[in-house]
Amino acid sequence: MDKVYPSIDAAVADIPDGASIAVGGFFTAGSPVHLLQALARQGAKNLTVICQSMGPGNEDVTTLVTQGQVKKAVCNYPFYRSATRGASSPFEKAVRSGQVELEVYPMGTFIEKLRAGAAGLAGFYTPTGVGTVVEHGKEKRSFNDRDYLLELAINPDYAFVYAWRGDRVGNLTCRKTARNYNPEMAAAGTITIAAVEELVEPGGLDPDKIHVPGIYVQRVVKVERRNYIPSIE
Amino acid sequence: MNENHRQLHGLSRELIALRIANELEDGTYVNLGIGIPTLVSNWIEGRDIVLQAEIGMLNTGPLAAHGQVDQDLINASCQPVTELPGACYFSDCESFAMIRGGYMDVAVLGALQVSEKGDLAGWNNPERGFPERIGNIGGSMDLAVGARRVIVAMEHTTRDGDFKIVKQCAYPVTALGVVKLIVTDLAVIDVTPEGLVLREVAPGLSAQEVQSVTEPKLIISPVLKEIHL
């Protein structure tokens, strides 16, 4: 069961217009930038991108926006923190003009929606967001005298994830805080594409230190580790 | 606008952070938000306090010095950090299960407004003019709801002298009735079912002066004292 693709471009070649794609990475850490760059070359349109941020620390998502490939984004921290920086951001402009639709969820809710999708659940009740704008349009229900909101699962067509090491059958080991959203997004994607810095043969990873079991990963591609200084400015 | 405003001088941001560090108990798990809360980490070195980073880490150490930067090791503000002995990593999903599950003893958060009922508004400044229900929520709502004790660290008023401690939040709220303690440059205030209790004032200030920059009526603690650092 060899899941290795010969190139990044081959791994994203079949993504159709209208696909939904969960993209791992917390700002700069563990972001599958090579796959985003390949998607920009591939050109699929009307995409729904499910990603923490649309620009800060993740400028490669911005290319998809400037090329008009994104119809909708689902985020928890979409914008630059600085108003001045945000004002010049293509994504913020596209949201303000109505060109891109945006849904925002609290961070814990955002990733739990993907976990629920991965785990065969329709949704879950969370206390987060009660009494805030997040309540809008959602069922509110009381359990043991505490209010909760019903949040529904997200089942993306694709997931782009990043790992430090991966084997040919799709097992992945992440490194430090570059793990972040990658495991749950990998599990949630119908087709999950993993970019790995180091590709090893089956048996090359310690089975006790695997963060993403290979069953969740359909495609593996080897990429070069980029070196950068983390920043969201 | 607070018409009676005059410039009151109190603690620097660093000293607000120190006052909060003194409030934290040993043996606790703590999450620090962006802004003044982050500065609290400068005052707890060597203490038995474990910092959680919501990106998925416990025992987060100080900011990484130049040359010590590991691009795979950042905090929730995308700053390169270090790990302390006993550190562990986990996914963001588990991190928030931990937060909502009530395992954080304390969350120290910044705020734009806090109400006398302990409502917190911090995620969306309407001046930014985003479309309705849109903005950078990040981890703030989960932390505000999940932490056992929420401490707010902020300047007492806006730069223009407007109230930030208000009867009712005008800005979009992060969570309702969650704030237990407010520490500002001018005062330390407990949020209680009876109302806001002024516990400490910055050196040289009177309770009346703090009241003049606070919209709701303050209950003056019988043991009111100056902030001791």
pLDDT tens readout for residues A63-121? 999 999 999 999 999 999 999 999 999 999 999 999 999 999 999 999 999 999 999 99
CB atoms within 10 A of CB A85: 15
The answer to whether residue B134 sits within a structural domain is: yes
From the list B56, B100, B175, the residue facing A132 with the nearest CB is B175
Burial class (CB in 10 A: 0-12, 13-18, 19+), B65: exposed
Identify the residue whose tokens are 């972001």: A31
Of B54, B116, B200, B215, the catalytic one is B54
The answer to whether residue B2 sits within a structural domain is: no
Express each pLDDT in A120-171 by its tens digit.
999 999 999 999 999 999 999 999 999 999 999 999 999 999 999 999 999 9
CB contact under 8 A, B130 and A83: no
CA distances from A116 to A57, A111, A122, B206 (A): 27, 9, 7, 53
Q: Distance from first CA to last CA of chain B, Å, rounded?
A: 31
Sign of CA dihedral B98, B102, B108, B109: positive
Q: What is the mean pLDDT of chain B?
A: 95
- A76 CB near a chain B CB, below 8 Å? yes
CB atoms within 10 A of CB A143: 9
Judge whether A150 and B122 are in contact, CB under 8 Å: no
Q: What is the pLDDT of residue B6?
A: 56
The answer to whether residue B90 sits within a structural domain is: yes
Best to test chain B binding among A23, A176, A224 (most B CBs inside 10 Å): A176
Distance CA B177, CA A2 (A): 54
The answer to whether residue B98 sits within a structural domain is: yes
Contacts with B89 from chain A: Cβ below 8 Å: 176-177, 179
- Burial of A99-133, coded b for 16+ CB within 10 Å and e otherwise, reads ebebbbbbbbbbbbbbbbbbeeeebbbbbbbbbbb
| Among chain A residues, CA nearest to B133 | A133
Sign of CA dihedral B83, B85, B91, B96: negative
Model ipTM? 0.96
Question: Where does the pLDDT of residue A233 fall: very low under 50, low under 70, confident under 90, or very high at 90 and above?
Answer: confident
Domain boundaries, chain A: 8-119+155-222
Question: Where does the pLDDT of residue B1 fall: very low under 50, low under 70, confident under 90, or very high at 90 and above?
Answer: very low
Check whether domain A8-119+155-222 has CATH 3.40.1080.10, yes or no = yes
Identify the residue whose tokens are 């069953």: A215
Domain at B73, CATH number: 3.40.1080.10
Question: Where does the pLDDT of residue B7 fall: very low under 50, low under 70, confident under 90, or very high at 90 and above?
Answer: confident
Q: Distance from first CA to last CA of chain A, Å, rounded?
A: 42
Domains identified in chain B, total number? 1
From the list A77, A115, A164, the residue facing B93 with the nearest CB is A115
The answer to whether residue B229 sits within a structural domain is: no
Q: How far does A201 lie from chain B, in Å, by closest CA?
A: 24
The answer to whether residue B117 sits within a structural domain is: yes
For the entire predicted model, the pTM comes to: 0.96
